Structure 1
């Protein structure tokens, strides 16, 4: 289950992730999505039951980006409290599921200026995930392997990557995170697209 914001709703990486996991694990894999553009962790609290009722084996969670936007008026402490509620509910209701809180792509330009304390929100979500015994997987290092020109072309609005580039950048490392490093192809390793 991919649970998040527009970086998930419009991400374009779920089907390629599904295919990569299916190929690696040699078994059926379905990646479903509960996500909405503009969503915050406050919205996520209201949607946690929709995630839980699907009984996923793995839940990928990302909600820091909109929480950090100045126009959302959400403090780091409120974002942390919301995520605490979400992650606690997932842990309680899906004790066998693997929950992975994610860092996504860099945010720049005006969208970056609107999130001056973005790193504080990412840090709060990472620390909370680790405190609860969940994993934090940061996709940003894979993005930062691109040159500045490639990064600008890949994320033209400064926030939302082109789906094809998102898939190529996110899927190799996330597949390895979920299924193990045996899922990294020699091509991905040569390109440095792994954790």
Structure 2
């Protein structure tokens, strides 16, 4: 009987600027942050990830993207620090689930509902990815949603007198109970969210 772990199936398609992102030891990673793309499809998520936004020649992106069909795509390998959550990037891996979220009017008063459910294939792939990461990242202990770590509010895009959450992902339809039952990772509750 073989004692080798099965190979985790994913599509490795690094962003063009991946090598410009800060390198880090895998032992530094103790947190997984769950996001949703708040975009209609994987192609648009890739387009947004490729945008250069920082003086370093890099942009904002998660490490892993899981499409609705359960396919897993690696845009930034874990040994690089990706820009995906304010204040937690050096210690975390970002997993983006393709989901429309509040697109296209993210910060408009009338767009503050997230009503698209996450397909079973996508959640099953997430559970498998979390297990894979637990095997690959020796210090991995915590899991959190983006909305729990970035609690900032901003003026609504259509009414500056109203403030709306900057981030709401993965949102109210994300099946936290099912995901937490499938992993021993602990839910991180920050003392001082950003």
Settle same-fold status: TM greater than 0.5: no
Give the alignment's TM-score, normalised by structure 2.
Answer: 0.35
Structure number with the higher strand fraction is 2
When normalised by structure 1's length, the TM-score is: 0.35
Say which structure is richer in helix.
Answer: 1
